[in-house]
């Protein structure tokens, strides 16, 4: 570690970045938290942290925030749920500027370790055409056929991390996140993920007395969802590991969207009439994480059940909606 021992978190104003920053602060780390958004729009602003608003599409800004760093967690990206990803492909791909400039800045700063948050969206579409997907293993990313826009940017940035490691000796680690959810996250406005969206819809139905819920697609598409605490713990473990290739970081508890709604209904104590919107953005038919490799290499894998994690998430969103707060609603 450098004498300054600064840990940089980019995208720190976001959902995962905020939770990661909080965990690092609890460890006693000197954290430099960076995000494009004004501080008032950050999900968490923590005391004792060097909080910076910077546009990391700019190379000089990346050099500034990387100076003196021993570790960099690069979580910065323009992203959201499937509705956002499918309708903002160019914006998603522009995140490659952040990925590129942060790698260059890390090399110039002599940073010891660099973490890149990739996504399950890098996986080939032809491996995700059925709802009974057995789980995506790390080698299913090639031959390349990722999610258009967002997935291509993530896959390209993964390769950059690999070649910066091979050519320049930068210790780079890459995790492929699978659908992260939990409290202190977006639950409305178009960028929210399915668990938060379903909690919001069920809560709205309960509060309004309108016993109906809209579900995108037929509800039989499958996913796995990782609770934020597992995501943060896995991120830290992967950063500190000697795993050089991209690795899955996600739950292998695969459920249908209909099952996700049923869990939220059970938490709320209501049953809703389901209205299926077959014209809404759907993404792939089936996606889940194969955790064989992470168990083999680390002896660990995300373990929070969807029922447990969703209950925490539901209660937090419920309190926010009842109180009329909208700080975490981002358009």
The vertex-173 CA angle with 109 and 47, nearest 5°, equals 65
SS (H, E, C) 91-113: HHHCHHHHHHHHHHHHHHHCCCE
Four-point Cα dihedral 243, 249, 252, 256, nearest 10: -150
The vertex-142 CA angle with 140 and 147, nearest 5°, equals 80
Which tokens belong to 321? 């909606």
CB 313 within 8 A of CB 181: yes
CB 192 within 8 A of CB 200: yes
What is the distance between the alpha carbons of residues 229 and 231, in angstroms, rounded to a whole number? 5
What is the distance between the alpha carbons of residues 234 and 117, in angstroms, rounded to a whole number? 11
CB 193 within 8 A of CB 181: yes
Out of 116, 123, 150, 177, pick the active-site residue.
Answer: 150
For 329, other C-beta atoms within 10 Å of its C-beta total 16
Which tokens belong to 202? 């069920």
Q: 249-263 as b/e, with b when 16 or more CB fall inside 10 Å?
A: bbbbbbbbbbebbbb
Which is nearest to 56 in space by CA: 76, 39, 40? 76
User: Does the annotation mark 181 as catalytic?
Assistant: no
Residues annotated catalytic, as ranges = 150
């Amino acid at each position: 570690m450098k004498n300054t021992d600064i840990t940089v978190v980019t995208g720190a104003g976001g959902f995962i970045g905020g939770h990661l920053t909080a965990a690092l602060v609890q460890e006693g780390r000197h954290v430099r938290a960076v995000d494009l958004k004004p501080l008032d729009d950050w999900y968490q602003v923590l005391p004792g942290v060097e909080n910076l608003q910077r546009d990391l599409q700019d190379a000089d800004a990346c050099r500034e925030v990387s100076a003196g760093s021993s570790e960099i967690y690069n979580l910065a990206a323009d992203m959201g749920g499937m509705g956002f990803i499918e309708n903002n492909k160019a914006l998603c791909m522009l995140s490659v500027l952040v990925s590129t400039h942060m790698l260059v800045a890390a090399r110039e700063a002599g940073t010891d370790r660099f973490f890149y948050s990739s996504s399950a969206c890098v996986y080939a579409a032809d491996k995700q055409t059925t709802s009974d997907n057995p789980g995506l293993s790390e080698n299913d990313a090639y031959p390349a056929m990722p999610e258009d826009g967002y997935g291509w940017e993530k896959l390209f940035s993964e390769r950059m991390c690999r070649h910066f490691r091979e050519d320049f000796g930068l210790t780079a680690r890459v995790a492929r996140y699978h659908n992260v959810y939990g409290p202190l996250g977006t639950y409305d406005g178009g960028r929210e993920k399915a668990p938060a969206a379903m909690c919001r819809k069920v809560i709205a139905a309960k509060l309004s007395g309108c016993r109906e819920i809209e579900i995108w697609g037929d509800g039989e598409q499958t996913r796995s969802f990782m609770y934020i605490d597992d995501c943060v713990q896995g991120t830290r473990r992967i950063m500190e590991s000697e795993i050089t290739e991209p690795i899955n970081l996600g739950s292998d508890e695969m459920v249908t969207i209909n099952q996700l709604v049923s869990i939220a209904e059970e938490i709320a104590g209501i049953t809703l009439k389901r209205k299926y919107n077959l014209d809404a953005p759907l993404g792939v038919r089936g996606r889940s994480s194969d955790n064989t490799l992470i168990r083999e290499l680390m002896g660990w894998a995300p373990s929070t059940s969807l029922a447990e994690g969703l209950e925490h998430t539901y209660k937090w969103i419920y309190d926010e909606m009842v109180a009329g707060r909208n700080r975490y609603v981002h358009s």
